[in-house]
Amino acid sequence: MNPTVTDKRLGPILAKVRQGSRLSKEDGICIYQTQDLIGLGMIANLARSVRHGKKAYYVYNQHLNYTNICKNRCRFCAYARDRKESGAYAWSMEEIEQYVMERIDEPVDELHIVGGLNETLGFDYFIDLLKTVKRIRPEATIKAFTCVEIDYLARLSGLGIEQTISLLKTAGLEMMPGGGAEVLNTRIHDLLFPKKIDHTRWIQIVKAVHNAGIKTNATMLYGHIETVEERVDHLITLRNIQDETDGFCAFIPLAFHSKNTRLSHLPPTTAMDDLKAVAAARLMLDNFDHIKAYWVMIGEPLAQVALSFGADDLDGTIIEEQITHTAGARSARGLTRDQMETMIRRAGFEPVQRDSFYNPKPVQAVE
């Protein structure tokens, strides 16, 4: 592969990628500012191909959002409700069991479990939640709770972070998603989610989780009020954490959807924004094995293109995604395994069904 670039500023970046050298903050800013999208994509695809060839991963997963009641009410969130607001809910253990049992005949490998900070739920609720899901799906990985939720659960339990994590791990927590970081920046925190933990607390918790032997993902919510410099700083912060803990499995750029939020005046991200976010992640995060193109947020067609811009993973079948669709996402709420594999093949890649930790699953006939 011999990428050609029309933006001369990309030449040194290409040279560094070929040499396996780490990119600087200035390189990251250039990646976001360049108009040579094709040249950038070729460089990111080069970095992707060195690691993964033509493989593109996905997981058979199911989302479970146990409550939408949340005391934080972040400005960018369309999903959260106050306790007495129309549409507010908190599932009982019986309702959670019923929800998981509805798909019991499907080969779900991962349960993705997140919810709001609901002050009516005690710490025992979360232990019971993990145990209930694990009892029903003993072979599936439970990927649950953001660092924001972990901080909240530690306060609920009255215990330290380490002991809280230990109790959750014993109850069935095996992995954590990457949400809650948004953009690791004080200015953005104070303007958009002042009630949520700040970036220093998020970093403290994610390091404790990694030190406890629990892998996590990492994310960045982009396309709202953040600057290019703040995006790059976020990626470098994550890269530094990964140098220290080696606890991140994957990075997921999350395109902001403004509908039904208090930022509804903001326009949606463009295809240019989304592809640059994927390419920047692949090139800046040299110590992350996997970069996801989250089809729920950018749509299935653009996710296919993103596989040639540095992404090697499309997340999964999802099954009834709620949070992003509440904010106006137009993608499907879930895809079958056949649809996932067809989407990957038609993009020119080789589908690999995986578990939560990127171990390939045995090849099976698709439905």
181 domain-assigned: yes
Of 13, 50, 53, the closest CA to residue 276 belongs to: 13
Backbone phi, psi, residue 90, to 5°: -145, 120
22 domain-assigned: no
| 298 Cα distance to chain centroid | 13
Distance in angstroms (rounded) separating the CA atoms of residues 344 and 366: 14
Task: Answer whether 343's CB lies under 8 Å from 302's CB.
Answer: no
Tell whether the model's pLDDT for residue 95 goes beyond 50.
yes
- The residue with greater pLDDT, 194 or 12, is 12
Backbone phi, psi, residue 67, to 5°: -160, 150
260 domain-assigned: yes
Of 109, 25, 73, the closest CA to residue 359 belongs to: 109
The residue range of the domain holding 118 is 54-354
Tell whether the model's pLDDT for residue 139 goes beyond 60.
yes
44 domain-assigned: no
Name the amino acid, one letter, at 50.
Answer: V
11 domain-assigned: no
pLDDT tens across 27-65, in order? 999 999 999 999 999 999 999 999 999 999 999 999 999
Helix 25-33, helix 271-284: angle, nearest 10: 160
Structure tokens at 26: 């200035």
295 domain-assigned: yes
pLDDT tens across 255-264, in order? 988 777 778 8
Least confident of 69-78, 82-91, 204-213: 69-78
Structure tokens at 347: 């993009």
pLDDT value of residue 328: 38
363 domain-assigned: no
CATH of the domain at 75: 3.20.20.70
Give the pLDDT band (50/70/90) at residue 362.
confident
Tell whether the model's pLDDT for residue 327 goes beyond 50.
no
Give the pLDDT band (50/70/90) at residue 78.
low
pLDDT value of residue 336: 87
364 domain-assigned: no
pLDDT value of residue 162: 96
Domain count, the chain: 1
Give the pLDDT band (50/70/90) at residue 364.
low
- The residue with greater pLDDT, 332 or 268, is 268
Average pLDDT, the chain: 91
Give the pLDDT band (50/70/90) at residue 72.
low
